Chain A
């Protein structure tokens, strides 16, 4: 290993050629083949020198030295420019990855991919929209609870027939059969997914904590409408049934969860 280091140094820095001469005889004596291999390897990567330099064993003629020096400078300049380009490309890639986030968001809004809210969802249109009387849709209702919440939660109607552009009211019922107040929070889901963007809720009971006192039963309304543009969407041409599904979760931490395998939730009707 030391030998290789010696050789590398001596090849790249011509001023130390005295070292070269002294060591070269040793090398020759010991490991000629290996020296030559390392020598050519080193030349290829580090110095890009013509191998004839080694055989001369002189300090080198001045003209040749200046030639190689200018070549060296050329190479160095080229290396620098190449490195600059690569660095610029790297920085550009990093910048692009940062810029991609808002750009992708814009693209999604424009194209509607990923289910993002279509830009232009107007809350004021409730006033001005006209019902599309000839397109009757059936909305079915589903109610679920998480395993740990002990409410009886179910819809009060299994289905309702609406038309797009008309506001509709639907009810769910929740009962707390336990002796402790329970706070629940719900979320909803609309199937088919694409119809979900047309399903606009004016007011409902989701996403906020709802507290039920012991043995209390309440009616929970959902006031919604289907966007009239539903009728004009070709992808919705075959959709006749939309299912609205609510799921209640328990909001308060620290409540005792039922033992696994033993659930007090009653069956939904």
Chain B
């Protein structure tokens, strides 16, 4: 990974993901959500903050189709999106 052999320089250590690995979506069950997310990104010049709703929907799709361990969305950092359900409908592209 990193070839820096100095004693004091930092080297990169890969870390395992917190919640493990995503199972592969072999059947493309969540492909539609992914496409929505990608179009949102393209439209908003790849600004993640504006497309968090779509990413939340994608993860929900994964959870529904057994492609991800079910977890409350607050734990995935979507607390702000859950607090304002009325605004969600307005933000949708």
In the complex, what's the smallest C-beta–C-beta distance from B44 to chain A, in angstroms?
9
Known contacts A127-B75, A167-B76, A223-B76; A115 and B22 CB within 8 A of each other: no
Is the interface on chain B under 10, 10 to 19, 20 to 34, or 35 or more residues? 35 or more
B93 contacts the other chain (CB 8 A):
no
* B17–A189 CB distance below 8 A: no
The SS class assigned to the B binding surface is: loop
Alpha-carbon gap, A72 to B66, bound state (A): 87
Q: Nearest residue in B to A126 (C-beta to C-beta)? A: B77
Contact between B41 and A211, CB atoms less than 8 A apart: no
**Contact partner of A203 among B8, B12, B17, B55, CB < 8 A?**
B17
8 Å CB interface, A166-201 against B: 166-169, 171, 187-191, 193-194, 196-197, 200-201
Within 8 A of A (CB), among B19-52: 19-22, 24-26, 28, 30-31, 34, 37-38, 41, 45-49, 52
Residues of A with Cβ closer than 8 Å to B?
Answer: 112-117, 123, 126-127, 129, 131, 133, 156-157, 159-163, 166-169, 171, 187-191, 193-194, 196-197, 200-208, 210-213, 216, 218-221, 223, 225
* The residue from B17, B28, B37, B45 contacting A202, defined by CB atoms under 8 A apart: B17
Interchain residue pairs A-B with the least CB separation, the first 6: A167-B77, A169-B55, A208-B21, A201-B17, A193-B12, A168-B48
Name which of A127, A131, A163, A210 has the most chain B CB atoms within 10 A of its CB: A127
A128 to chain B, nearest CB (A): 9
**CB pair B12 A189 closer than 8 Å:** yes
Q: Which residues of chain A have C-beta atoms less than 8 A from B91's C-beta?
A: none
When distances are taken between beta carbons in the complex, the residues of chain A under 8 Å from B30 are: 219
- Kindly provide the distance from the CB of B9 to the nearest chain A CB, expressed in whole angstroms: 8
